[in-house]
Amino acid sequence: MGSLVNESFSIELQQLDAASTDTARKERTQWLLTSPNPPSLCHELINTVKETVLPHGKTTKQSRKGAFFSFMQGLFPILKWGRNYKATKFKHDLMAGLTLASLCIPQSIGYANLAKLDPQYGLYTSVVPPLIYAVMGSSREIAIGPVAVVSLLLSAMVPKLVDPAVDSIAYRNLVFTATFFTGAFQAVFGLFRLGFLVDFLSHAAIVGFMGGAAIVIGLQQLKGLLGINHFTTQTDVVSVLEAVFRSFNKEPWFPLNFIIGCSFLVFILITRFIGKRNKKMFWLPAMAPLASVILSTLIVYLTNADQHGVKIVKHFKGGHPPSSVHQLQFKDPHIGEVAKIGLICAIVALTEAIAVGRSFASIKGYHLDGNKEMTAMGCMNLVGSLTSCYIATGSFSRTAVNFSAGSETVVSNIVMAITVLLSLELLTKLLYYTPLAILASIIISALPGLIDINEACHIWKVDKTDFIICIATFFGVLFGSVEIGLLIAVGISFGKIIVDTIRPSVELQGRLPGTYTFCDITQFPVATETPGILIIRVNNASLCFANANFIRQRILRLVKHTSEGHIKEKINVLVLDMSNVMNVDTSGIVALEELYRELISQGMQLGIASPSWKVINKLKAANFLDKLGKGWIFLTVGDAVDGCLTSKMDV
């Protein structure tokens, strides 16, 4: 074993045993040359499609009835865990569900307000989607309902098509239609196992995006907090601050809004602080928003503050969610735009839900199937769009509350949904005097959870490129729009992949003392070069049109540079370590042929070490192996060096 034997010993051994070594090496090269053909392109394509579309793993033989039942269990996980559901679990779920409802009611009204919809639509969204998710979803902690970022996305994009201030019904219909598209896209992603599309928003991009979105949402709340009538439909910082200053100059200002909003914001933040310090008081921050709503409503009702400029919710429709089937606008002229909004919301909503679901699943130690989750989310939004709901997804803040409150299963979502439904039936009239400022302060209080400065610092420490993506997305959202932020994130991320492919690194390798391992001589200063042999490794998975010329030039430059340095000993052989190169295309082969010709014209020989499966096959097909000579193909760099030294001895 190479790593065990020291160098001098092995050199002796080599001299003793040069002939048999030579045979062994040739046999190894033969393994390489006679390896079976790699799977064809057609075969690979079929495999990729199969793996993408069909469920994982081999299906074990089952009876038809069993297969159907396991399929149904896959689609409706409730059939599986519902059988073993016990009263003790329900006790926990009931408590968690009630806590969740008390946080969910004020937040839903606030997010509906952020999405420029009437309050009841936020509440509807906390009734239907959680119920659908409960039968189809497999996360046990996630809390379903409207969330801040998606509400912001809708309010930033749909008003460009129809102004809600002008025609609120048409606006609402477009929101339902967008919800339908979101559900459809999510279901398709799940059914066709296209979950990887969600990965296109990298971790760093999400951190930047969430931070930017939180600040934008906070700024939007200035409208409610300051009681401004004429606000802007733009979401960027500059427009919003301009609108605020304009309103200071032009409108009468009622400081009562601000005072009520701020004092309750302080109250909520203090309860949050207490809850954080003392984990057992988790219910305090969860209850605080509802308490604030009740208290502030009472105060306004008793003091008639609404007649002194405090803006209030006023009447909104209660009762169960009505059908919205006939309100979906598929013949709208903006339908293409609406579908695009649906797609963006689908990806952002899934990203949030899967991130939150997966992180809690890994705490509890179970696995979450992303594709099944997507199907569940898609169905819940599809049904939601037919029952007057807008886009629902898993909420960061409420899921954390659900977890702390000891939820055992998704039954807590059912409890929450029923509680919200009861409130809709009975209590909407009580919310008449609720000040809008309190809704703003509830939304603002949920924002710090979205701004993750620690994570941004961590990203800075670990990966500077990722930090650039993070910060560019953040500023894109802040000063451009949510769409621009997302575009920047995806653009930089994929741009980096392309740049890495176009300009891969090429490294000089040396031998580590006492081993037969060859490593980058810059990284390992202990590594030594072998006299007369230059070992160069290509550090990219593909030698293709986009980098073949660059790599060829780099190699030739390294050869020239090293030749100038080694005046004493001429370089005879260039060993190209292709272990990293998984594939080569015709441009790559042309570059290798040119490299070979240029080396020969400089009196050097080219040796190729550890070409991968596809590479050796294509070199064979292109007749390059015959040009090069089969003696110059080696299984490993070690073999190549051995081979070169032997052939030198022979000369």
Strand runs (DSSP E) across 438-572, as ranges? 505-511, 518-520, 533-539, 542-543
Site for its own copies in 301-360 (CB under 8 A): 358
The conformation of residue 435, written as its DSSP 8-state character, comes to: B
The window from 316-324, 395-403, 413-421, 498-506 that contacts its own copies (CB under 8 A) reads: 498-506
Among 160, 545, 646, 647, binds its own copies (CB under 8 A): 545
Q: Which is nearer to its own copies, 398 or 537 (CB)?
A: 537
DSSP one-letter string for 186-250: HHHHHHTT-GGGGGGS-HHHHHHHHHHHHHHHHHHTHHHHHT-SS--S--SHHHHHHHHHHHHHH
- With beta carbons less than 8 A apart as the criterion, state whether 384 and 128 touch: yes
Nearest Cα neighbor of 645 from 21, 3, 4 is 21
Q: Which residues, numbered 555-594, are part of the site for its own copies (CB under 8 A)?
A: 557, 560-561, 579-580, 582-587, 589-590, 594
Q: Which of 98, 244, 430, 541 binds its own copies (CB under 8 A)?
A: 541
Phi-psi category of residue 226: left, alpha or beta, with phi > 0 → left and psi -120 to 50 → alpha: alpha
The residue (of 168 and 587) whose beta carbon lies closer to its own copies is 587
Stretch of 86-94, 136-144, 160-168, 464-472 contacting its own copies, by CB under 8 A: 464-472
CB of 39 to its own copies, least distance (A): 9
Sheet holding 533-539, edge to edge: 518-520, 505-511, 533-539, 573-577, 605-609, 633-634
Candidate list 241, 531, 621, 630; residue touching its own copies; CB under 8 A = 621
Q: What is the DSSP letter of 477?
A: I
22 lines the binding site for its own copies (CB under 8 A): no
Stretch of 102-110, 407-415, 435-443, 496-504 lying at the interface with its own copies (CB under 8 A): 496-504
Considering only residues 168, 465, 562, 646, which one is a binding residue for its own copies as defined by CB under 8 A?
465
SS3 367: coil
Stretch that binds its own copies, among 163-171, 213-221, 246-254, 635-643 (CB under 8 A): 635-643
Out of 109, 134, 459, 604, name the contact with its own copies by CB under 8 A. Answer: 459
C-beta neighbour count of 464 within 10 angstroms: 10
Q: How many Å apart are CA 243 and CA 53, to the nearest integer?
A: 49
| Residue among 404, 383, 401 at smallest CA distance from 392 | 383
Min CB(351)–its own copies separation in Å: 11
Q: Which segment (14-22, 219-227, 415-423, 472-480) binds its own copies by CB under 8 A?
A: 14-22
Contact positions with its own copies (CB under 8 A) in 373-402: none
Q: How many CB atoms lie within 10 A of CB 278?
A: 10
Residues 591-610 that bind its own copies (CB under 8 A): 594, 597-598, 601
Q: Which is nearer to its own copies, 264 or 516 (CB)?
A: 516
Stretch near its own copies under the rule CB under 8 A, chosen from 99-107, 121-129, 232-240, 542-550: 542-550
Q: How far is the CB of 542 from its own copies (least distance, A)?
A: 6
Give the rounded distance of the alpha carbon of 536 from its chain centre.
Answer: 36
Name the residue among 301, 299, 268, 298 with its Cα closest to residue 285.
268
Place of tokens 């399929």: 71
For 625, the 3-state DSSP assignment is helix
Residue 87 is a binding residue for its own copies (CB under 8 A)? no
Cβ proximity to its own copies: between 205 and 431 the closer is 205
Total residues contacting its own copies by CB under 8 A comes to 110
Spell out the residues 6+ positions from residue 139 whose beta carbon is closer than 8 angstroms to its own: 357, 360, 361, 368, 373, 394, 410
| Contact indicator for 610, 644 with CB cutoff of 8 Å | no
Q: Which of 463, 508, 562, 563 binds its own copies (CB under 8 A)?
A: 463
3 binds its own copies (CB under 8 A): yes
Q: Which amino acid, residue 426?
A: L
Nearest distance from C-beta of residue 318 to its own copies, angstroms: 43
Closest distance between its own copies and the C-beta of residue 7, in Å? 8
Q: Which of 46, 308, 494, 626 binds its own copies (CB under 8 A)?
A: 494
Question: What single letter denotes the amino acid at residue 308?
Answer: H
Residues 356-375 that bind its own copies (CB under 8 A): 358, 362, 365, 367, 370
Strand 533-539, strand 573-577: pairing: parallel
Stretch that binds its own copies, among 29-37, 258-266, 336-344, 389-397 (CB under 8 A): 29-37
d(CA 138, CA 357): 9
- Chosen residue from 246, 449, 622, 646 binding its own copies by CB under 8 A: 622
Which of the residues 499 through 518 are near its own copies (CB under 8 A)?
A: 500-505, 512, 514-517
The distance of closest approach from Cβ of residue 257 to its own copies in the complex, given in angstroms and rounded to an integer, is 41
Residue 14 touching its own copies (CB under 8 A): yes
CB of 508 to its own copies, least distance (A): 13
> Which is it for the CA torsion 276, 278, 279, 282, positive or negative?
negative
Q: What's the closest the beta carbon of residue 607 comes to its own copies, in angstroms?
A: 15
**CB 553 to its own copies: min, Å:** 8
What residues numbered 119-158 form the site for its own copies, per CB under 8 A?
none
Shortest spacing between CB 473 and its own copies, in angstroms:
12
Give, as ranges, the residues between 31 and 70 that touch its own copies (CB under 8 A).
31, 35-36, 38, 40-42, 48, 56-58
Sign of the four-CA dihedral 8, 13, 15, 16: positive
Q: Is position 462 an interface residue for its own copies (rule: CB under 8 A)?
A: yes
C-alpha span between 442 and 451 (Å, rounded)? 16
DSSP state letters, 298-359:
HHHHHHTGGGGT--B------SSPPP-GGG--TT-TTHHHHHHHHHHHHHHHHHHHHHHHHH
Query: Residue 35: left if φ>0, alpha if ψ -120 to 50, beta else—which one?
Result: beta
Q: How far apart are CA 336 and CA 351, in angstroms?
A: 23
Q: Enumerate residues 434-453 that contact its own copies by CB under 8 A.
A: none
**Cβ closer to its own copies: 4 or 87?**
4
In the complex, what is the shortest distance from the CB of residue 475 to its own copies, in angstroms, rounded to a whole number? Answer: 18
Q: Which of 97, 106, 195, 384 binds its own copies (CB under 8 A)?
A: 195
Site string for its own copies, 202-241 (x = CB under 8 A): xxxx------------------------------------
CB of 264 to its own copies, least distance (A): 37
Distance CA 532, CA 510 (A): 12
Query: Closest separation between CB of residue 604 and its own copies, Å?
Result: 14
The Cα 172–Cα 381 span in angstroms is 15
- As given in the structure block, the two tokens for residue 152 are 């912001």
